[in-house]
């Protein structure tokens, strides 16, 4: 059930993405590590009874596996009790929301804005995106970086952040939004 709903979300959200990219993202979204994170966010361990030898409050491989399994079971139970729409709602409020938060929060996670922009450029056989710090303002203890991202000499996006990485991620996100708007309007993306 979870695979179906995550696949449905990805097809709706990324209609032009190639199968390899969709498979990679889907496998991460339904993978044990990610689902364990979702289950921890929901504090599902408090509803699980275990023997004395297993303490779910202590992180570890077994706890991660159990938490992920409990979350998947919850999705199935919601489906059986409330139907497809209720299960879809649960997945969107938990898995999809956690995915969207993680997407830009962890550069290099494989699904952040910088990675998505790089994959898009590679799929269109363009050069790799390059990021340039345009300015730095504010005091040394609280700087604000302004960054722009270019591909083959064309500025695609701009972003600001408290770190260079945050500004780069926002510039990549801006570039992706601009590209999407151009493609939806029928205009050339680059």
Q: What digits encode the pLDDT tens for the residues 21-71? A: 788 788 888 988 889 989 989 988 888 877 776 665 655 566 788 889 999
Q: Domains, the chain, ranges and CATH?
A: 2-105 (1.10.1520.10), 114-184 (3.30.160.20)
Mean pLDDT computed over 71-86: 96
Instruction: Indicate if the pLDDT at residue 83 is higher than 50.
Output: yes
71 burial level (CB within 10 Å; 0-12, 13-18, 19+): buried
pTM beyond 0.85, yes or no: no
User: Which among 120, 134, 125, 121 is positioned nearest to 171, based on CA atoms?
Assistant: 134
The continuous run of DSSP H or E covering 158 comes out as: strand 154-161
């Amino acid at each position: 059930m979870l695979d179906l709903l995550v696949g449905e979300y990805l097809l709706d959200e990324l209609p032009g993405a190639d199968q390899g990219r969709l498979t990679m993202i889907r496998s991460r979204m339904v993978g044990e590590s990610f689902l364990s994170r979702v289950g921890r966010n929901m504090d599902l361990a408090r509803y699980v009874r275990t023997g004395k030898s297993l303490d779910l409050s202590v992180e570890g491989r077994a706890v991660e596996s159990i938490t992920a399994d409990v979350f998947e079971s919850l999705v199935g139970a919601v489906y059986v009790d409330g139907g497809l729409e209720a299960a879809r709602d649960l997945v969107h409020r938990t898995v999809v929301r956690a995915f969207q938060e993680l997407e830009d929060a962890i550069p290099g996670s494989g699904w952040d804005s910088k990675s998505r922009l790089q994959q898009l450029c590679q799929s269109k056989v363009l050069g790799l995106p390059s990021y340039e710090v345009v300015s730095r303002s504010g005091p040394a203890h609280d700087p604000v970086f302004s960054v722009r991202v270019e591909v083959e000499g064309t500025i695609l996006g701009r972003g600001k952040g408290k770190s260079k990485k945050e500004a780069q991620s926002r510039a990549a996100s801006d570039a992706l939004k601009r590209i999407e708007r151009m493609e939806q309007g029928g205009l050339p993306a680059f």
